[in-house]
Amino acid sequence: MTQSTTPMADNDTGTHSARMTSLFDAWSLAIGSSLAILRRLAGTTEQEFLQIGRHVQEIHQASTTLLRTANHLVAAASGERLHGLIDRLRRIVHEIEAYLEQTQSQRGDQSTVFATVGGLLQQVGSPLEGFKKMSKRLYILEVLIKIESADSGESVGEFNNLAQDIRTLSLQIKEKANNIYDQRELLAALIGRSNAEIQIAGSAQESRIRTSLTSATASIAHLEMVNERFSRLGGVVSTVAEENANSVSEVVQSMQSHDMFRQQVEHVLEGLEQTTALLDASTSGNTAAGDAPALRKHIVKMGDVCELQEAQLHFASTELHAAVTGIVTNLDAIAGKQRRLTETLHGDSGMSAASGRSFIDDVRRHMASITELLTVGVETNNQVAEIMRSITATVAAISTFVADIEEIGQDVILIALNARIKATGTGQEGASLGVLAQEIGQLAKEDSHRTQSITAALKEMHTATVGLATVADHNEAHLSATLGGMQAELDTILATLGAMGQDLSSLLAQAQRQANDLVHDIERLTASIDIHQRTKDLAHEVLNELRQIVAQSRALFPASEEFKEELRQMAERYTMDSERRIHEAISRKHGLETVATERTPHQPALEDASEFGDNVDLF
């Protein structure tokens, strides 16, 4: 609306009347269009705010549900249950480490025993060769006895029997010596092969177990760290819940701005509707024709009313815009906090989004690897026990053969004694037989020394191998039971961890879905909220009309004293801070002093109508 204005000094009554009629007509059009817009503003925002309120309620419920899921997730990854499992896992790891120390020591003992037995088997070699030589010498003596018996011509039958007995003993010694030799070779090969296999297999198995233990220990430490992080996350979830509650509370408070805005618009409507009667009176014949005081009064009144209503509408529009902007900001804050909370939960859980594996899966995998290796360890220990039983049995067999040779030696002694007796009975002709008898006796003594030497070595072997076999047998029973119990406990722990891992994975996926849905709903809602901008644009149209009327009125005549006094009184009388601030601002604009009112630090006094902006509080 544009209209040229000049002071009332115009003496041309006809021209003046036409100008006034044109001015009031323009104002009537402006007021009419403004009233139409204000009625739209008063009636069209309610439904949209109700719809926003329903969405905010749904968002609040979704946020509460997500926080509940987060609390369940924190409880699943922390607390005494998981802490107890961690303690049990650490105890099992210590037991396995003790087992490794024990097996390492036992492998050293086994190696020492095998080396000792190997050395003793080497010592047995010399007596064995003596036995073989003894068998040959007895054979020679048998032949010599037959020759001497034939030459003497006496007692041929008795000497032949003696020779036959010597031959039998020679063959028996040879057989037993060969048996001992064969058993010795078998035992030496068994010890050499077993010692190498046990040491290599044991070292390799220990290395693999220690590698798995190192990984398992690291996983358990990570599990404990995650347990502590999730315990602290409980406080984070509580903080987010509290912050979200505050954001929702601020949204609810901001929603109340609609009622305040509607009331303000209705007040403006009421004030502007009063101007219609004033405009009608202003365009009546007498007033428009030349009643200068009446025209002045009407023009001043229009300026006064429109200035007050412009200030109130500007304030109401600014407040509504700020409140709705606050709603959008708080909703975005809720979405951001929920998104960051979900990312934190995923990060602290160590779960891979691609594989779905979590920190619990790593612990389960490493501990399962250890149990498999321990099962192999039990089998290896059983093999050692079997080897020791074989060694003990072989030593026992050799001892039996040595005992047989020792008995044969006693028979040789008796034969030698019998030969000397027979040689003495034959007189001078039996002298050569006596010499042979002495030789047989000497062989018997040598046989006794050899058997004693081998028997001593065998006793050392027996002592060493029986001790090791006893340890192996004990380990076979005890270790199998211990590892069996450990395996059963690990199976229970791993099953529990597996169930916890599945719960964790499910809860994380659920939290992620809920967060994504919540963020999507909030983004969709905030993108659809434009009521504050539309009301601001509509209000701006009315404000422009009112400001032009005020400018045209004040260009003709200043504000009335009655208006100024009324402003001062209203500024002092109103209890609503927003209304009082509007009146104070207009009063100061006209150079009026008002009674000072207390204000909070974030509510500074408004200097002019252009300052009805960000520094205003919600109604």
**Distance, CA of 150 to CA of 144 (rounded, Å):** 10
Q: Which of 40-49, 254-263, 354-363 has the lowest mean pLDDT?
A: 354-363
Report the Cα 344 to chain-centroid distance in Å: 11
Nearest to 203 by CA among 214, 193, 191, 195: 195
Domain positions in the chain: 23-52+238-279+293-351+531-587
Q: Are 373 and 209 in contact (CB under 8 A)?
A: yes
What is the residue type of 124? V
pLDDT beyond 90 at 546: yes
Question: What does residue 8 show for φ and ψ, rounded to 5 degrees?
Answer: -80, 15
**Distance, CA of 359 to CA of 219 (rounded, Å):** 7
How high is the pLDDT of residue 476?
A: 63
Query: pLDDT averaged over the chain?
Result: 75
How high is the pLDDT of residue 610?
A: 33
Mean pLDDT value across residues 29-47? 85
Q: Which of 35-39, 183-187, 279-283, 585-589 has the lowest mean pLDDT?
A: 585-589
Tally DSSP H helices, then E strands, for the chain.
Answer: 11, 0
For residue 98, what are the CA distances in angstroms to 92, 103, 380? 10, 9, 17
How high is the pLDDT of residue 27?
A: 92
Q: For residue 112, give the 3-state DSSP assignment.
A: helix
**Distance, CA of 36 to CA of 214 (rounded, Å):** 80
Q: Are 394 and 186 in contact (CB under 8 A)?
A: yes
Q: Are 374 and 486 in contact (CB under 8 A)?
A: yes
* Region of 303 on the Ramachandran plot (φ > 0 left; ψ -120 to 50 alpha; else beta): alpha
What is the residue type of 539? A
Question: Tokens 């080396």 label which residue?
Answer: 115
Mean pLDDT value across residues 226-248? 74
Residue 562: band (very low, low, confident or very high) from pLDDT cuts 50, 70, 90: confident
How high is the pLDDT of residue 283?
A: 65
Q: Where are the alpha helices (DSSP H) in 77-155?
A: 79-152
Q: Are 289 and 13 in contact (CB under 8 A)?
A: yes
For residue 376, what are the CA distances in angstroms to 31, 99, 205, 565? 97, 13, 8, 102
Q: Are 592 and 583 in contact (CB under 8 A)?
A: no
Helix-strand-coil percent breakdown of the chain, rounded to 5? 90, 0, 10
Structural tokens at position 320: 């509504």
Structural tokens at position 244: 């979200």
pLDDT 10s digits, 73-101: 777 766 677 778 888 888 888 888 887 78
Q: Within 13 Å and on the Cβ side, how many CA atoms surround 239?
A: 8
Nearest to 418 by CA among 168, 166, 171, 162: 162
Which is more confidently placed, 53 or 8?
53
Structural tokens at position 14: 């006809």
How high is the pLDDT of residue 189?
A: 83
Give the best-scoring range by mean pLDDT among 278-287, 367-376, 420-429. 367-376
Structural tokens at position 425: 């009975």
Mapped to the 3 state alphabet, what secondary structure does 33-61 carry? HHHHHHHHHHHHHHHHHHHHHHHHHHHHH
**Distance, CA of 33 to CA of 52 (rounded, Å):** 29
Mean pLDDT value across residues 191-195? 79
Mean pLDDT value across residues 397-423? 74
Q: For residue 487, give the 3-state DSSP assignment.
A: helix
pLDDT beyond 60 at 446: yes
Q: Where are the alpha helices (DSSP H) in 529-598?
A: 531-556, 561-573, 577-589
**Distance, CA of 562 to CA of 172 (rounded, Å):** 151
For residue 14, what are the CA distances in angstroms to 5, 11, 19, 403, 544? 15, 9, 9, 161, 30
Nearest to 316 by CA among 550, 85, 542, 141: 542
Question: Tokens 């044109």 label which residue?
Answer: 22
Mean pLDDT value across residues 495-501? 78
B/e letters for 599-609, b = 16+ CB within 10 Å, e = fewer, are eeeeeeebeeb
- Residue 235: CB atoms within 10 A of its CB come to 10
Q: Are 17 and 46 in contact (CB under 8 A)?
A: no
Residue 298: band (very low, low, confident or very high) from pLDDT cuts 50, 70, 90: confident
Nearest to 167 by CA among 141, 128, 131, 147: 141
pLDDT beyond 80 at 618: no
Q: Are 17 and 24 in contact (CB under 8 A)?
A: no
Q: Are 313 and 543 in contact (CB under 8 A)?
A: yes
pLDDT 10s digits, 143-160: 777 776 666 655 556 667
> Which are the contacts of 219, defined by CB distance < 8 A and separation ≥ 6?
359, 362, 363, 366
How high is the pLDDT of residue 583?
A: 64
Q: Are 315 and 582 in contact (CB under 8 A)?
A: yes
Give the best-scoring range by mean pLDDT among 31-40, 44-53, 193-202, 565-574. 31-40
Mean pLDDT value across residues 348-376? 65
Q: For residue 272, give the 3-state DSSP assignment.
A: helix
Nearest to 384 by CA among 43, 113, 29, 71: 113
Structural tokens at position 532: 């504050």
Q: For residue 327, give the 3-state DSSP assignment.
A: helix
How is residue 614 annotated by DSSP?
S
How is residue 559 annotated by DSSP?
P
Q: Which of 99-108, 174-183, 419-428, 477-486 has the lowest mean pLDDT?
A: 419-428
Q: How much is the pTM?
A: 0.58
Report the Cα 55 to chain-centroid distance in Å: 34
Structural tokens at position 489: 């406990």
Structural tokens at position 516: 């994504």
Mean pLDDT value across residues 426-445? 68
